[in-house]
Chain A
Amino acid sequence: MSLHIVKKGILDSIQDAGHYGRQHLGIGPGGVMDFIAFRTANALVGNSKGEAVLEMHFPGPVIHFTADCLIALSGADFGAVIDGVDININQPLVVNKGSILRFQQKRNGARCYLAVRGGLNNELFPYHFSGENEVVALPWKADLCGLYNNDRIRFVQGSFFCQLSESSRQHFCNSPFSITTQSNRMGYRLKGEALQLTEKQELVSAAVTKGTIQLLPNGQLIVLMADHQTTGGYPCIGHVISADIPSLAQSDNGQALAFESVSIAEAETLRLRQEQHLQQLQYSCTFRMQEYFSL
């Protein structure tokens, strides 16, 4: 292990792509909130796409590197500094043994990810850059343009969408909803105009998924996130599309959200395009790294 957490941040956790196959036992898959940042950070250090990373919130941890490492940060920008030097997110960094990483201010986003080449239990990184600085940024950056969708959170309609009253449907698609402080990795509780169904429903529980938008009895909404329960009994009025889960994961408490309805076909296409972009990023990073280190 080449990392030592000197001071814990708020809700730091080690996450990977999640583990499916046990939802019939009530065990959800978990995993990272923002898979774009997760994939990007891993790609930048040349890891396989599923390697575990550190998911951090603000205030973030203080991390001491006990060995030379190749690292990358992605996702939220928390004003990272290594030994007094400002560092960028979305750029690979060679960090020398003894360096200290801190996060100084929340600039944007809600979750920052740290990947280390070889994983958090990595082997020694065979390059040491001697010089004044303890950190050297490698000369390329990941371009995430178009991967996040900052305007609106897109959703496909759920089975109860059509049973919303006419005015509630209007509100859902046209009014802002704010993310309340009762939001976490399990779900985002939203506050907005209370929505109503045309008739009251008592439902038997059934499976829910990441992104499911449930209507609570008080008319407010909850969007299920990475650590969601496997089943639920509230009416589902929509489901945030897979491609926009990372954008939602980077939206912070207090922030306003607007929803936009899309078809399933669009949702699928958007996710596929995003995946192609991420694959491309992975290839380019591997290529750059091979070239740079002549590995």
Chain B
Amino acid sequence: MLSIPPYQLRSIGDHALLIDFGQCIDEHIHQWVMAIYDYFQQEPLAGLLDCIPAYSSIAFVYDLVFWRNKTGNSTVVDYLGRIILERLSHVQLSARRKINRVDVPVCYDPALGIDIINLAAAHGLTVEQVINMHASKSYHVYMLGFLPGFAYMGKVDPRIATERLQQPRTLVKAGSVGIAGEQTGIYPVDSPGGWQLIGQTPLRVFDPRKKNPCFFAPGDEVLFYPITLSEFQKIKEHESAHR
């Protein structure tokens, strides 16, 4: 049986604790992050407000007053920290974790992926090659953050990994697909942003009117497939009509 990789438990302020596996983007580490997340979903702990998985860490945000009333002379950080550590000893990597696989259409036309020509040139590639490299593998959703529904996925082929823009744009269109280093992601709403934009999806990846407003969840596997500009328009119209 695999044992849990080395980690540190530390507080982040007076109302959150963090299990930190160190600075890395690693699918194996992230499986442990998600196993811990799943365990706390299945065995909820009163007074825990949020569990936030990230690349190589998971945070537990708690109700300080609720816990402080239980801990007597001990601090919540120590008391709850012990409970969390005890729980970690029960967490196992399950081969049966149900993985949600999602296919995402992306139009890589330079009209929408406004950085794709420059990005290809910078790596000595053709636009075709960049599209093939981006759309030929599945990506792991490591975490959501930055904006509601913004999924940080990785890792892209090292041949197309590209640093963020020097000067972030003040407006990036919702649905824009970008690359930042070895990460790729989709802007869920119009926002400022510094990722290199290589395409756009017609899907609405964040819709506050839906019961499940976010298209992605941590742990999902995502496959991008290329579509033409006219297919993009068609899906987009269909999406708007069915809101």
Binding site for B on A (CB under 8 A): 20-29, 156, 158-159, 202-212, 229-232, 236, 239-242, 264-265, 267-268, 271-272, 275
* Interfacial chain B residues near A159, Cβ < 8 Å: 10, 12
A242's contact among B58, B64, B145, by CB below 8 Å, is which? B64
- Does any Cβ of A come within 8 Å of B147's Cβ? yes
**Closest CB pairs A-B (n = 3):** A231-B145, A239-B13, A207-B59
- Does any Cβ of A come within 8 Å of B213's Cβ? yes
Contact assessment for B64 and A268 in the assembled complex, using a CB-CB cutoff below 8 Å: yes
Known: A24-B53, A204-B23. A242 touches B218 (CB 8 A): no
Most chain A Cβ neighbours within 10 Å, of B16, B52, B145: B145
* A264–B145 CA distance with the chains assembled, in angstroms: 27
Contact assessment for B14 and A271 in the assembled complex, using a CB-CB cutoff below 8 Å: yes
Known: A24-B218, A231-B145. A156 touches B50 (CB 8 A): no
20 further A-B pairs in the complex, CB-CB below 8 A; given A205-B152, A207-B57, A264-B77: A23-B61, A24-B37, A24-B52, A27-B213, A29-B49, A156-B14, A204-B25, A205-B55, A207-B54, A207-B58, A207-B61, A207-B145, A210-B13, A211-B13, A229-B146, A230-B145, A242-B64, A268-B68, A272-B65, A272-B68
Number of A-B contacts (CB under 8 A): 135
* A240–B14 CA distance with the chains assembled, in angstroms: 8
* A271–B145 CA distance with the chains assembled, in angstroms: 28
B14's contact among A22, A24, A232, A267, by CB below 8 Å, is which? A267
* A29–B52 CA distance with the chains assembled, in angstroms: 12
Contact assessment for A212 and B50 in the assembled complex, using a CB-CB cutoff below 8 Å: no
* Interfacial chain B residues near A205, Cβ < 8 Å: 54-55, 143, 145-146, 152
* Interfacial chain B residues near A29, Cβ < 8 Å: 49-50
- Does any Cβ of A come within 8 Å of B217's Cβ? yes
* A36–B20 CA distance with the chains assembled, in angstroms: 33
- Does any Cβ of A come within 8 Å of B75's Cβ? yes
- Does any Cβ of A come within 8 Å of B15's Cβ? yes
